[in-house]
Amino acid sequence: MTIQLLPDHVVNQISAGEVVERPVSVVRELIDNALDAGANEISIRIEEGGQSLVLVEDNGSGMSPDELKLAVRRHATSKLRDLSDLDNLTTLGFRGEALPSIASVSKLSITTRPQSAELAAEIRIEGGEVLHAGLCAGRVGTTVEVRQLFFNTPARRKFLKSVRGDELKIRQWIEQTALIRPQVRFRIKSGEKEILSLPPRDSYVERAKGMFGADTVPVSYQVGPLKISGLVRHPGMASSDSKALLLFVNGRLVNDRALVRAVRDGFDSTLKNFEYPAGTLSLEIPGEFVDVNVHPQKSEVRFRNGQAVFGAVRSAVKAAVQEFKRPVAFQSPQYQSAAGAPLLRIVPGNQVNLQLAEQPAFGFSSGAEISRGAASPAFRFSDLKYLGQLLGCYLLCEKAEEFYVVDMHAAHERLNFNRIRNAFAARGLPSQALLEAQEMDLPEEILEGVKEYLDLLEAFGFAVELGQGARLRIKAVPTIFANQNLSEFLTTVFRDQTLLDAESAMQRRVDALAASLACHASVRSGDALSRSEVYELFSDLDKSEFSAACPHGRPVVVCYSRAQVERWFGRDR
């Protein structure tokens, strides 16, 4: 078999396989280009879930006739001039592959006009072949019409999903994009029916509030070149699906286990093993510290120093979560509908993967300025008027026009947990000498980890001696570790862990034990509290750094408005 060059139309169809998987891929590419063109109004119309039509109309800068002819050729882009530009990309559609790839597997028409031109330029392409190019009347901006996707590649077309599934994917992706581009107005029609209209908002956080509803706190954190902003929901609103958390890096939606774990760690112990935090975070970082040009579909991003980013995200979320001191506002389905803000109606569709690259670190100064969002509205447990105890566990209270229910066990458990962990952090928890030193043989790689971080172990209250070979002698442990399986603990912590991860794993184990201690030391359902004991509990909660949820994430206090209470009894009718 002789070697030969592939025809251009075949090359474009192969490229289309990398760029265009389904209609949402087309929508994504066209909207990226519209945003890069400076559009602040974008209208989308689809038919049959985008399989028969995707039409995107924007009011961006438009293109001249010569620019339009270049835009539909491979490797043509306005975003790059030389290879070094890849290190500082701030645009979305930068590869110069999207339009020719889409044109090769569809019937494509583009009409575009810059502000300086009297007439618009237009071009029609079918299966990669230019049928017409010329001038016409047209508005400022660009309109791209993609019909009959994969009409000339039936093998690809038969793998398209259901029409309804494709429509949902497109809607979900638009919602996610609108979140990070709050100043842009987005409209979507399916046929003649408008299925989504998102007016512009002043900020990313304002847009997020409209999408995620109540019981959120803002995240606003800056250290070195990294800025982190967003909203996180109360731990009581956690989800079993990791997609409840939307993560953006320089305006791109990403899906990364390490960042999700950093957010989970920021919630401390308030999330169960199978739970994920809900909310959204946006990371902004200079282009030289992140590589976005590592995948044909822009589906991977690499940081120069993933560990520094991990630590910053964890700290940002932890600082925000500490602001959860106010009650959870109860919302029935009817109440949510009336407010127009259903809980977590966003389910990410086409997320991308983010990879952490081991490259030279950039410095995060420990003395860098850290900014937080506006303080939450002040709430003090001591301001509540205690009414009585219900079902042996719930403290009923009122304040102004609101009715409050406090879970006394959750409240006391949170208070005790904070005390135990703070004492541990201050090395104030007692260390207990073992009556008889515990000896164990550990795998060589685990023993090496113990040797490397011996100082860390001692700081946590362990007294450790290294014996002959792989033998280890433990003579003292923190009191809360008494009767624990030390061999299993050390193996879990030091199996292929970095110092950061070892400390994090150890802290998670400490948190679990502290939560267990706090639970058993707290008042329980059925215990009767006197009025003075209730107000003493409230006073202690006000002094505690975090009082919105117990160590397991359950709300400590729930608030009902007067209107909600009156609705229970039909007084709103």
Alpha helices (runs of H) in 37-77, residue ranges in sequence order: 65-71
Among 78-92, 153-167, 196-210, 407-421, the least confident range:
78-92
The dihedral over CA atoms of 307, 310, 312, 316, expressed in degrees to the nearest 10, equals: -170
Q: Is the dihedral of CA 354, 356, 361, 366 positive or negative?
A: positive
Place of tokens 């409840």: 244
Q: Rounded distance, CA 184 to CA 199, Å?
A: 7
Q: Looking at domain 379-573, does it have CATH number 2.60.40.3880?
A: no
Q: Scanning the structure block, which residue is given the tokens 């566990």?
A: 393
For the residues 273-278, what does the mean pLDDT come to?
83
Provide the 8-state DSSP code for 289: G
Contact 446, 470 (CB under 8 A): no
Give the residue with greater pLDDT, 78 vs 264: 264
* Average per-residue pLDDT for the chain: 79
Rama region for 232: left / alpha / beta (φ>0; ψ in -120 to 50; rest): beta
What's the pLDDT tens digit per position in 286-345? 888 887 665 555 556 778 888 888 889 999 998 888 877 777 776 543 333 224 333 333
Place of tokens 């001696």: 465
Mean pLDDT, residues 429-453 taken together: 82
**Tokens representing 376?**
């939450």
Two domains, one topology: 8-198 and 204-356: no
Instruction: Assess contact for 544 and 415: CB atoms under 8 A.
Output: yes
Q: What is the band of 23 on the pLDDT scale with cuts at 50, 70, 90?
A: very high
Rounded to the nearest angstrom, the gap between the alpha carbon of residue 388 and the centroid of all alpha carbons in its chain is 40
DSSP-derived secondary structure letter, 330: P
DSSP element (H, E) containing 471: strand 471-478
Helix (H, G, I), strand (E, B) or coil at 346: coil
Closest CA to 463 of 440, 428, 431: 431
Say what the pLDDT of residue 10 is.
64
Three-state DSSP string of 402-453? EEEEEEHHHHHHHHHHHHHHHHHHCCCCCEEEEEEEEEEECCHHHHHHHHHC
What is the band of 504 on the pLDDT scale with cuts at 50, 70, 90?
A: low
pTM for the predicted model, two decimal places:
0.68
Written out in words, the top-level CATH class of the domain with range 204-356 is alpha beta
In sign, the C-alpha dihedral spanning 453, 454, 456, 457 is positive
The whole-number average pLDDT for the span 236-259 is 84
Query: Is the pLDDT assigned to residue 118 strictly greater than 90?
Result: yes
Domain ranges in the chain are: 8-198, 204-356, 379-573
Query: Which whole number is the average pLDDT over 6-32?
Result: 76
Tokens of 161: 């999903």
Q: How far apart are CA 94 and CA 141, in angstroms?
A: 19
Beta bridge partners of 135: 121
With H, G, I as helix, E, B as strand and everything else as coil, classify residue 533.
helix
Collect all residues with Cβ–Cβ distance below 8 Å to 338 and sequence separation of at least 6.
none
Q: Name the residue with tokens 């009297």.
A: 118
Which of 207-216, 266-275, 537-546 shows the highest mean pLDDT? 537-546
Q: What letter would DSSP give residue 363?
A: P
| 519, pLDDT greater than 80 | no
- Residue 94 is predicted with a pLDDT of 39
Cα–Cα distance, 419 to 414 (Å, whole number)? 9
Instruction: Give the strands of the sheet with 302-303, arranged side by side.
Output: 290-291, 302-303, 355-356
Helix (H) or strand (E) holding 130, with range, is strand 129-136
Among the four given CATH numbers 3.40.50.300, 1.10.630.10, 1.25.60.10, 3.30.565.10, the one describing domain 8-198: 3.30.565.10
Q: How many CB atoms lie within 10 A of CB 400?
A: 7
Please tell me whether residue 165 adopts helix, strand or coil conformation: helix
Q: What is the pLDDT of residue 253?
A: 85
Residue 253: other Cβ atoms inside 10 A: 22
Pairwise CA distance, residues 258 & 425, whole Å: 24
Region 231-255 average pLDDT: 85
Q: Kindly tell me the burial class for residue 197, based on how many C-beta atoms sit within 10 Å of its own C-beta (0-12, 13-18, 19 or more).
A: exposed
Query: Alpha-carbon distance 20 to 26, whole Å?
Result: 6
- Mean pLDDT in residue range 2-31: 75
For residue 226, list its beta bridge partners: 223
